[in-house]
Amino acid sequence: MPFRTILRKLTKSIDGYGAILLDEEGEVVDMFSARASMELDVIGAHKGIILKMLERTVKDADNIHSIGISTDKMRLAISPVKEGYYVVVLSNGHTPLQRVFREIDQCIKQLEEEMG
């Protein structure tokens, strides 16, 4: 199953705005956007940079499982997939982050299978 199909399924399962698969440099591997006007690649690159900065800040960076940011209008979730890869998800402000992360965990299993 192509990455985009997995990311689309994830986005739709949480009524999200989009999902991005990033490599360790913050480059977009693939993405799905439910909104044509949303520049997910730019958002994804910035989130990759943020994650790297957080990893350097935290002593036990290997233990970071995920990062969630919640605002009134949006939820942002970042989770590692395989070594050097991350998935970034943007959802509406009504979807609980716990649900987003639960769906991300299912998505990660599929992404890892696709990566081999």
Domain ranges of the chain: 3-115
Q: Is 60 exceeded by the pLDDT of residue 79? A: yes
β-strand 86-92 against 74-80: which pairing, if any? antiparallel
User: Residue 40: its pLDDT value, please?
Assistant: 55
3-state secondary structure of 12: helix
**Could you tell me the pTM of the whole model?**
0.80
User: Residue 114: its pLDDT value, please?
Assistant: 92
Kindly state which CATH superfamily the domain 3-115 is placed in: Dynein light chain 2a, cytoplasmic (3.30.450.30)
3-state secondary structure of 48: helix
Query: pLDDT band at 98, cuts 50/70/90?
Result: very high
User: Residue 57: its pLDDT value, please?
Assistant: 57
User: Residue 86: its pLDDT value, please?
Assistant: 87
Q: Are residues 50 and 76 in contact, defined by beta-carbon separation less than 8 angstroms?
A: no
User: Residue 4: its pLDDT value, please?
Assistant: 93
* CA separation for the pair 8, 24 (Å, rounded): 22
Residue spans of beta strands (DSSP E) within the chain? 16-22, 28-33, 67-70, 74-80, 86-92
* CA separation for the pair 37, 27 (Å, rounded): 20
